[in-house]
Amino acid sequence: MKDYCLELVSNKQNIDEKINVMREYLQAYTLKVFHDKGIFRSVAFVGGTALRFLHGLPRFSEDLDFSLTDNNRQFSFSGIMTILRNEFLLAGYNVGVTYNDAKTVWSAFVKFEGLMKEVGISPLAEQKLSIKIEIDTKPPEGAILITEIVNKYFPISFLSYDISSLFAGKIHALLSRKYLKGRDYFDIGWYLSKWKGLNPNITLLKNALLQTGWPNEQVTEKNWRSIVSERIRGADWKKIEADVKNFLERPSDFSVFTKESLLALV
């Protein structure tokens, strides 16, 4: 399995491509382990990486995000991380895992040592490539769950959110994040250019904003577009470009998503 990962990266031309492809393969392997061990009976795959795997979002993503769906099942995050580490070790990787399950959102870093040197990105064997994994143990209510089968490096069946619920999650991130993340803006534009007239799951969006202390007027089916538009107007587009460009399959795609074109879509 490790040999295939190295082979995928060998024909990529620049450092960003190499890192993005290598990380995505390792993400897919993580999802395969989760599927094989039955973890998707209790969690749903959400966020930007889910959007890429499920719907072909043309940008790479750093994190794997999940939401707990079965609060009654015994669920050991430390146990899952131990299983994941062992599976990567069996596949030939030099890997370490650190995790924190003391908060509502469990988080872990899976760190691969030596890969960056093996593919020619770094002269230092100790430089690590990391994947961040997060599981929200108390996600807002209202999501619509679906089961999907995706064949990306491996055939994987997993639980996820429907498109309106994923869209609600992205709008929530855009409105509630305390720092500017250009990928939020690119993703909003991509959603609305791919699914004309798409509306978010308003119940989920309301509950998510309530959970994170949204201080402004309540979001409704009638006003969500104006609220999102206001956030877009105030954004620094140069900072957005700097954040997202290295993650795009085709960096030239960003030239299409100007502030004006995004406002027109909303």
Give, for 208, the enclosing helix (H) or strand (E): helix 202-211
Task: Return the pLDDT at 165.
Answer: 98
Cα(24)–Cα(18) distance, integer angstroms: 10
Q: CB–CB of 135/108 below 8 Å?
A: no
User: Alpha carbon of 4 to those of 42, 49, 150, 153, 172: distances in Å?
Assistant: 30, 21, 19, 10, 37
Please name the amino acid found at residue 156.
I
Q: What CA–CA distances, in Å, run from 114 to 93, 126, 137, 233? A: 9, 6, 33, 43
- Residues 56/243/122/16 CA torsion (nearest 10 deg): 40
pLDDT in the model for residue 208:
97
Q: What is the pLDDT, as a whole number, of residue 71?
A: 64
User: If you average pLDDT over every residue of the chain, what do you get?
Assistant: 91
Q: Which two tokens stand for residue 40?
A: 């998707």
* Percent of the chain topping pLDDT 90: 73
- Tens of pLDDT along 21-33? 999 999 999 999 9
**What are the mean pLDDT values of the chain's consecutive 10-residue runs (266 residues total)?**
82 86 94 93 93 93 92 79 95 94 94 87 81 95 94 91 97 93 94 92 97 92 96 94 90 89 93
pLDDT at position 126, please?
74
pLDDT at residue 75, rounded to an integer: 77
Please state, in angstroms and rounded to a whole number, the distance separating the CA atoms of residues 34 and 91.
15
* One-letter identity of residue 150: V
The helix-helix angle for 237-244 and 182-194 (nearest 10°) equals: 90
